């Protein structure tokens, strides 16, 4: 998250380390095809099968005892060689005469006692520290190393002019290992270091500090001392040792690593450094021994800006807390960091304090810290990470009398909100607030500074952002990742919100109008949520497509479907659902319209094909057949009573009775006519079906009059149905008068089909042709039938 103010101390805490890196940084990459890692392999010599183009070679932590020219000569492109933690005792620099590009050589932590010089001009980083040299291993050829930035050395004794060959070089970092330094009683050695920005001295880790060496420096900017063991007796020896090192006006950064001391000696060291030009004092891994008593400390004018103490081990269990805390609380400096310590409290300064930055990370402070403290009037940044804070309301009260406070970090505590009914009180100046990794719930939004710009609430127990919250109109950045939120917050209460981090929550159906309500959004991170890829998500995905990829962080890789199962793991960018499947109203209208069109179409077809008429015919025929099934089995044996049933229009009866019937009866053909053979009392349909079934043939006299007769069509329908039911050819069509196709109604499509598919006999107007007509009629009755009369008499 963006910080309006970055603490000054962080910009200078590691300034010495940055000096080391500048000009000497070598990138080691496992993915680099020219980097070879042979560390921790149990090697006793340099492998011969190394790639010729090797540029970076790591053979540290092996058992190599010597180096030869043949080991290195074929690696002409080698730039970095790490041989630390081996067993090399003798070094001949001519081994590297064919490695003209070698810039980085690490031979630290070996057993080197002697070095043979050879002109080498390419070194930028040369580390010979933590070896067994009696004197500093300086060759006159080192004076030609114009690009040298880092030099690590070891020695048991020092002489003033040991570094004369490289006095003209401008080194960034000198590491001097004095662990094995031989201490001579009542004799002081000296060493002159002319041009070095950083000097790091390492002493024996378990021996009391007793070194008496005058080390004079000219341009030293950073001093780092490691392994300092002090008590009240040798404290003055250490201070005397520092007096020469801290004499120069350029020393700004002083660091003590792994220091064991009494409280009295530590206060004396502070008092000694207070008037010095040192601006940044760093102490890492401090152990306090023996006792802690009240010590006099004069807070004179000082150039010290920042004191950092990280990881304190207190071996004194009974002591005056006031004696301990007062020394720190009354310091007249701008920045104080005391982290990873067993401190349970910090006193409020007695007078208005100069502190602008306080960092008490990983202590055991409680809610009573700085309670009713009105002297921190200049404090701008307060960091209380990883303490024992529990009540957010009390944290707000703590800041009430800090009018300059802008940045407050109380993350990684056990803070809870909602315990108090009254409104929270905060310093109105707070603009950055870190409340992450606590136990806060939705109620936290009712207990926030009114002018906050950056708010970090990630890793809490927030399930929703209440609608009724105090409007945070200045809020620009909000981090609520790793909570249990189910939706993206709108910007109604956060009108200036431009950065939102809400990944790893429970957002399944984000609001589609989020981007419309948050017009100022320039960055949003909402991935790794259990998105449910259903219709509700469709509009949100559609709106995402219109947002720049620079705004949507992690898109599309972190945005995937979690439900339904068929979409699980699929990117949201590939999720698509049609408008029809998601819009219920549109779906109903579409189905209704389709059904309406279908109904209209079916109705039109029914009217066009006269489907009701045919349905009625089928119904009546079915009823007749059903009644026939109820007749006893012996009566079901069908016997024909007529040769032919004649169907005709009443308008054509004159021709039927004067021409057709007389001729057929003259030929001894039994005719069934409706006017004489229909049984009274039965329905017309039933009489038609009975006559057709009792007749061998059905003769239809076709004419325009026939077309207009509905009963004729009944008879034709049942006769045609009987044709297929019986499997016989029992229809005879006589065309009495021509019938134009366009005169046949569409509902009588069966008549059209029969006239197109079957052969019919046309009645000729010329008498000369009628003989052939009657011959065809006779041919249709060429089968001799046994007919049963109405009285069941058999007649041939």
Tens digits of per-residue pLDDT, 668-678?
888 898 888 88
Residue 614 Cα distances to 303, 382, 421, 651, 713, angstroms: 114, 95, 84, 25, 10
Residue 6 scores a pLDDT above 90? no
* Residue 360: how many other CB atoms lie within 10 Å: 24
Residue 31 scores a pLDDT above 60? no
Residue 369 Cα distances to 344, 379, 473, angstroms: 9, 15, 30
pLDDT tens column, 226-240: 999 999 999 999 999
Residue 767 Cα distances to 15, 293, 376, 759, 773, angstroms: 134, 154, 138, 22, 10
Residue 558 scores a pLDDT above 70? yes
What is the band of 3 on the pLDDT scale with cuts at 50, 70, 90?
A: very low
Average pLDDT over the chain, rounded to an integer = 85
Q: What is the DSSP letter of 151?
A: E
Cβ proximity of 89 and 113 under 8 Å: yes
- Predicted confidence at residue 657, as pLDDT, reads 87
> Bigger pLDDT: 58 or 736?
58
pLDDT tens column, 722-772: 654 444 567 788 888 888 777 777 666 666 777 776 677 888 888 887 888
> What is the distance between the alpha carbons of residues 467 and 469, in angstroms, rounded to a whole number?
6
Of the given ranges (223-227, 679-683, 791-795), which has the lowest mean pLDDT? 791-795
What DSSP string describes 62-110? S------HHHHTT-TT--EEE--SS---EEEGGGGTT-TT--EEE--SS
Angular region, 90: left φ>0, alpha ψ -120 to 50, beta rest = beta
Q: Nearest 5 degrees, angle CA 308-CA 312-CA 313?
A: 170
Compute the chain's Rg from CA coordinates: 55
Q: Which three-class secondary structure state does DSSP give residue 792? A: coil
Q: Considering the domain boundaries, does residue 688 fall inside one? A: yes
pLDDT tens column, 164-176: 999 999 999 999 9
What is the band of 16 on the pLDDT scale with cuts at 50, 70, 90?
A: low
Of the given ranges (249-263, 521-535, 733-747), which has the lowest mean pLDDT? 733-747
Of the given ranges (111-120, 638-647, 784-793), which has the lowest mean pLDDT? 784-793
> Bigger pLDDT: 626 or 73?
73
Closest CA to 509 of 542, 490, 487: 487
> What is the distance between the alpha carbons of residues 284 and 296, in angstroms, rounded to a whole number?
24
Residue 616 scores a pLDDT above 90? no
- Predicted confidence at residue 340, as pLDDT, reads 94
What is the band of 624 on the pLDDT scale with cuts at 50, 70, 90?
A: very low
Count of the separate structural domains present in the chain: 2
Q: Considering the domain boundaries, does residue 635 fall inside one? A: no
Strand partners, 58: 37, 82
- Predicted confidence at residue 12, as pLDDT, reads 44
Q: Considering the domain boundaries, does residue 327 fall inside one? A: no
Of the given ranges (262-266, 660-664, 732-736), which has the lowest mean pLDDT? 732-736
Q: Considering the domain boundaries, does residue 707 fall inside one? A: yes
> What is the distance between the alpha carbons of residues 524 and 489, in angstroms, rounded to a whole number?
12
- Predicted confidence at residue 466, as pLDDT, reads 85
Residue 17 scores a pLDDT above 60? no
Residue 503 scores a pLDDT above 90? yes
- Predicted confidence at residue 645, as pLDDT, reads 87
Which domain range does residue 290 map to?
A: 203-295+306-319
Q: Considering the domain boundaries, does residue 727 fall inside one? A: yes
Give me the CATH number covering residue 665: 3.40.50.10140
Of the given ranges (391-405, 495-509, 572-586, 720-734), which has the lowest mean pLDDT? 720-734
Q: Mean of the pLDDT values across residues 83-98?
A: 95
Q: Mean of the pLDDT values across residues 148-152?
A: 96
> What is the distance between the alpha carbons of residues 480 and 434, in angstroms, rounded to a whole number?
11
Q: Mean of the pLDDT values across residues 680-689?
A: 80
- Predicted confidence at residue 404, as pLDDT, reads 97
Q: Considering the domain boundaries, does residue 733 fall inside one? A: yes
Q: Considering the domain boundaries, does residue 225 fall inside one? A: yes
Burial 598-620 (b: 16+ CB within 10 A, else e): eeeeeeeeeeeebeebbeebeeb
- Predicted confidence at residue 518, as pLDDT, reads 86
HEC-encoded secondary structure of 407-449: EEECCCCCCECCCCCCCCCCCCCCCEEECCCCCCCHHHHHCCC
What is the band of 482 on the pLDDT scale with cuts at 50, 70, 90?
A: very high
Q: Considering the domain boundaries, does residue 123 fall inside one? A: no
- Predicted confidence at residue 637, as pLDDT, reads 44
Strand partners, 500: 478, 524
* Residue 517: how many other CB atoms lie within 10 Å: 16
Token output for 633: 């089995």
> What is the distance between the alpha carbons of residues 440 and 461, in angstroms, rounded to a whole number?
6
Q: Mean of the pLDDT values across residues 384-388?
A: 96
pLDDT above 70 covers what percent of the chain?
Answer: 85
- Predicted confidence at residue 642, as pLDDT, reads 86
- Predicted confidence at residue 739, as pLDDT, reads 82
- Whether residue 556 has a cis bond before it, omega within 30° of 0: yes
Token output for 346: 């910090």
Q: Mean of the pLDDT values across residues 112-138?
A: 93
Give the torsion through C-alpha atoms of 115, 120, 122, 126, to 10 deg.
10
């Amino acid at each position: 998250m963006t910080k309006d103010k970055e603490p000054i101390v962080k910009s200078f805490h590691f300034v010495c380390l940055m000096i080391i890196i500048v000009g000497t940084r070598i990138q080691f990459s496992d993915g680099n095809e020219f980097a070879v890692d042979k560390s921790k392999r149990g090697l006793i010599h340099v492998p011969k099968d190394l790639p010729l183009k090797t540029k970076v070679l790591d053979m540290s932590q092996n058992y190599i005892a010597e180096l030869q020219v043949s080991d290195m000569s074929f690696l002409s492109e080698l730039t970095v060689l790490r041989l630390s933690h081996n067993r090399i005792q003798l070094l001949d620099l001519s081994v590297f005469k064919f490695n003209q590009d070698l810039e980085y050589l690490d031979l630290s932590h070996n057993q080197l006692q002697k070095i043979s010089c050879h002109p080498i001009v390419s070194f930028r980083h040369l580390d010979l520290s933590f070896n067994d040299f009696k004197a500093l291993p300086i060759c006159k050829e080192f004076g030609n190393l114009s690009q040298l930035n880092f030099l690590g050395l070891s020695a048991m004794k020092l002489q003033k002019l040991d570094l004369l060959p490289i006095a003209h070089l401008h080194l960034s970092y000198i590491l001097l290992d004095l662990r094995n330094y031989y201490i001579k009683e009542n004799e002081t050695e000296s060493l002159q270091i002319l041009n070095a920005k950083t000097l790091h001295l390492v002493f024996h880790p378990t021996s009391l500090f007793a070194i008496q060496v005058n080390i004079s420096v000219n341009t030293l900017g950073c001093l780092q001392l490691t392994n300092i063991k002090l008590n009240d007796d040798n404290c003055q020896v250490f201070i005397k040792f520092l007096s020469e090192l801290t004499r120069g006006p350029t020393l700004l950064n002083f660091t003590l690593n792994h220091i064991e001391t009494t409280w009295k000696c530590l206060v004396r060291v502070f008092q000694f450094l207070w008037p010095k030009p040192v601006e940044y004092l760093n102490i890492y891994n401090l152990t306090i021994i023996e006792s802690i008593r009240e010590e006099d400390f004069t807070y004179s004018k000082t150039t010290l800006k920042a004191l950092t103490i990280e990881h304190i081990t207190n071996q004194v269990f009974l002591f005056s807390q006031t004696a301990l805390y007062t020394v720190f609380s009354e310091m007249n400096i701008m920045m104080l960091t005391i982290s990873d310590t067993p401190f349970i409290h910090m006193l409020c300064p007695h007078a208005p304090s100069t502190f602008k930055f306080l960092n008490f990370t990983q202590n055991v402070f409680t809610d009573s810290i700085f309670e009713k403290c009105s002297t921190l009037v200049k404090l701008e940044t307060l960091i209380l990470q990883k303490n024992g804070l529990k009540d957010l309301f009390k944290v707000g009260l703590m800041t009430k009398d800090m009018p300059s406070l802008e940045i407050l970090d109380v993350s990684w505590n056990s803070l809870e909100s909602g315990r108090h009914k009254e409104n929270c009180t905060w310093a109105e100046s707070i603009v950055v607030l870190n409340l992450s990794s606590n136990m806060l719930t939705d109620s936290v939004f009712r207990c926030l500074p009114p002018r906050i710009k950056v708010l970090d609430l990630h890793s809490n127990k927030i399930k929703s952002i209440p609608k009724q919250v105090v409007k945070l109109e200045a809020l620009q950045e909000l981090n609520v990742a790793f909570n249990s939120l189910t939706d993206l917050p709108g910007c109604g209460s956060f009108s200036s919100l431009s950065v939102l981090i809400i990944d790893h929550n429970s957002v399944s159906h984000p609001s589609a109008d989020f981007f419309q309500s948050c017009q100022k959004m320039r960055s949003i991170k909402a991935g790794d949520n259990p998105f449910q890829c259903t219709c509700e998500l469709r509009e949100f995905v559609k709106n995402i497509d219109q947002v720049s990829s620079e705004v949507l962080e992690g898109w599309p890789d972190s945005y995937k479907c979690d439900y339904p199962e068929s979409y699980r793991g699929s990117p949201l960018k590939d999720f698509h659902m049609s408008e029809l499947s998601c819009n219920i109203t549109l779906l109903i209208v579409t189905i209704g319209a389709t059904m309406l069109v279908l109904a209209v179409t079916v109705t039109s077809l029914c009217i066009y094909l006269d489907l009701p008429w045919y349905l009625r015919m089928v119904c009546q025929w079915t009823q007749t057949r059903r009644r026939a099934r109820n007749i006893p089995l012996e009566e079901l044996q069908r016997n024909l009573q007529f040769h032919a049933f004649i169907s005709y229009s009443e308008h054509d009866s004159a021709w039927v009775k004067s021409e057709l019937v007389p001729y057929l009866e003259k030929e001894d053909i039994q005719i069934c006519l409706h006017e004489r053979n229909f049984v009274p009392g039965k329905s017309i349909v039933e009489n038609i079906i009975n006559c057709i079934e009792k007749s061998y043939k059905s003769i239809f006299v076709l004419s325009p009059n026939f077309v207009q007769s509905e009963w004729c069509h009944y008879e034709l329908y049942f006769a045609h149905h009987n044709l297929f039911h019986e499997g016989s050819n029992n229809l005879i069509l006589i065309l009495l008068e021509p019938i134009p196709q366009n005169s046949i109604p569409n509902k009588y499509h069966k008549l059209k089909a029969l006239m197109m598919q079957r052969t019919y006999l046309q009645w000729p107007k010329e008498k000369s042709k009628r003989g052939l007509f009657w011959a065809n009629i006779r041919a249709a009755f060429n089968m001799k039938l046994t007919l049963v009369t109405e009285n069941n008499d058999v007649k041939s």
